[in-house]
């Protein structure tokens, strides 16, 4: 397994919001109280609002390869979800319906009536939940390698089929063991506190085609967050709520707004099959020369797909 580590030990303040925002020219850090906790987001650009939601184990910083280009055409608002980054860690509320209500509260406080919504990984789950629950606020929806939890998750194997668990994730038989590991309460933070870099290096190598596109600095940013026990616990709560998310989904009506799915080499076929069951106006684009972290591996292809879709 290839590990990419810094040869130096930069001071911790390099990873603080006030320093990282310098990698987002024209953007500003903001903090707002929603549903009883502090929500961190960054904002830049002008035009129609585009709310962007990140996934695990990342933060708002994951949008840095595409944020500047998006902000040339849209008012871009990139959010640290409940339990993520500099946003508050609550005792409960990590089901996607509640997390979607956090985004609704933000939208209302910003005085917005309707938004485009884009989510990656866990952020895609929250974005879809928002669209299901608040269609009147949703203009267009983009989900990148992440769709709302469904009963299909219950069919995921506990053990990988013979010959399918290698250095890179198998597109036909993907084995995502962390989906089970993150269900465990209290133990992960004891094992990973101060050591999350090991999981990050392994994960990026496994789910990316070219893990070198996730730089040493990127990894250090995420390690600085997820090395903390409270942040590991909060992010695992996103996974521990999947059963509730699946129950909630049983009452949702199919989405009627335009939906774009962007799939990597692993997820494309699954999204192409699954999204039409829950959305009436859907298009799925495959970025088949990218793994899960497509913003880092193929940012231009992501931008091309997003701009083409939003311009329709």
131 within a domain of the structure (yes/no): yes
Determine if the pTM surpasses 0.85: yes
User: Using one digit for the tens of pLDDT, what is the confidence trace for 171-180?
Assistant: 999 999 999 9
- Please determine, for residue 16, whether its predicted confidence score (pLDDT) is greater than 80: yes
pLDDT score of 12: 57
Inside any domain, residue 298: yes
Q: What range does the domain containing 297 cover?
A: 12-157+246-310
Residue at 146 is within a domain: yes
For residue 139, tell me if it sits in a domain: yes
Residue 217 domain-assigned (yes or no): no
CA distance 311 to 283: 14
Does residue 277 belong to any structural domain of this protein? yes
Q: How many domains does the chain contain in total?
A: 1
pLDDT of residue 243: 98
**Domain contains 220:** no
Task: Enter the tokens of residue 56.
Answer: 């695990």
For residue range 187-201, what is the model confidence (pLDDT) as tens digits?
999 999 999 999 999
CATH code for position 97: 3.40.50.1820
pLDDT band, very low/low/confident/very high, at 230 (cuts 50, 70, 90): very high
Residue 174 placed within a domain? no
Residue range 87-104, pLDDT digits in tens: 999 999 999 999 999 999
Smallest CA-to-CA distance from 214 within 14, 5, 1 is with 5
| pLDDT digits 0-9 by tens, 128-175 | 999 999 999 999 999 999 999 999 999 999 999 999 999 999 999 999
């Amino acid at each position: 397994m290839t590990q990419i580590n810094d040869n130096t030990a930069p001071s911790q303040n390099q990873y603080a919001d006030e320093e990282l925002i310098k990698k987002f020219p024209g953007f500003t850090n903001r903090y707002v109280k929603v549903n009883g906790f502090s929500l961190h987001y960054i904002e830049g650009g002008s035009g129609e609002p585009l709310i962007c939601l990140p996934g695990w184990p990342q933060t708002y910083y994951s949008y840095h390869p595409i944020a500047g280009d998006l902000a040339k055409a849209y008012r871009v608002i990139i959010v640290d979800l409940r339990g993520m980054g500099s946003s508050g860690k609550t005792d409960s509320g990590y089901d996607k319906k509640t997390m979607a209500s956090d985004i609704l509260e933000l939208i209302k406080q910003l005085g917005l009536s309707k938004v485009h919504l884009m989510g990656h990984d866990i952020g895609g789950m929250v974005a879809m939940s928002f669209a299901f629950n608040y269609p009147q606020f949703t203009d267009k929806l983009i989900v990148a390698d992440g769709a709302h939890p469904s009963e299909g998750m219950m069919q995921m194997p506990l053990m990988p089929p013979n010959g399918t668990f290698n250095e890179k994730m198998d597109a036909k038989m993907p084995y995502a063991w962390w989906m089970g590991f993150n269900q465990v309460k209290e133990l992960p933070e004891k094992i990973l506190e101060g050591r999350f870099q090991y999981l990050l290096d392994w994960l990026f190598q496994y789910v990316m085609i070219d893990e070198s596109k996730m730089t040493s600095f990127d990894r250090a940013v995420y390690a600085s967050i997820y090395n903390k026990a409270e942040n590991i616990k909060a992010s695992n709560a996103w996974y521990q709520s999947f059963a509730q998310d699946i129950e909630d989904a049983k009452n949702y009506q199919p989405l009627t707004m335009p939906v774009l799915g962007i799939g990597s080499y692993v997820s494309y076929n699954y999204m192409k099959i699954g999204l039409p069951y829950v959305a009436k106006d859907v298009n799925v684009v495959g970025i088949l020369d990218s793994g899960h972290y497509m913003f880092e591996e193929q940012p231009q292809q992501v931008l091309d797909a997003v701009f083409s879709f939003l311009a329709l």
